[in-house]
């Protein structure tokens, strides 16, 4: 598959981005580090216990106090 075909289809790129995001959540949670995310127009910190790793979920919508 050529680079042009990859960009035209986009599925492989989307999958790679989802895998990378899941790996980043897994890494932060495993190390016990909070993770920054964008929520409602601002950056919020999500505590490690609130980071969800499952494929469909991103980060829980509970910013730290």
Residue 63 has pLDDT above 80, yes or no: no
Top pLDDT among 56 and 4 is at 4
Provide the residue ranges of all domains of the chain, joining segments of one domain with +: 3-50
Q: Are 25 and 62 in contact (CB under 8 A)?
A: no
Report the pLDDT value the prediction gives residue 12, as an integer from 0 to 100: 87
pLDDT tens readout for residues 13-60: 888 998 999 999 999 999 999 999 999 999 999 999 999 887 545 444
How big is the chain, counted in residues?
A: 65
Q: Could you tell me the CA-to-CA distances from 32 to 2, 11, 12, 13, 65 in Å, in that order?
A: 40, 32, 30, 29, 17
**Report field, pTM of the whole predicted structure over 0.95:** no
């Amino acid at each position: 598959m050529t680079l042009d075909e990859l960009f035209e289809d986009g599925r492989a790129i989307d999958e790679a981005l989802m895998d990378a995001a899941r790996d980043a959540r897994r890494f932060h949670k495993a190390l016990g580090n909070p993770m920054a995310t964008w929520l409602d127009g601002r950056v919020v910190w999500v505590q490690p216990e609130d980071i969800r790793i499952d494929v469909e979920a991103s980060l829980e919508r509970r910013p730290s106090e």
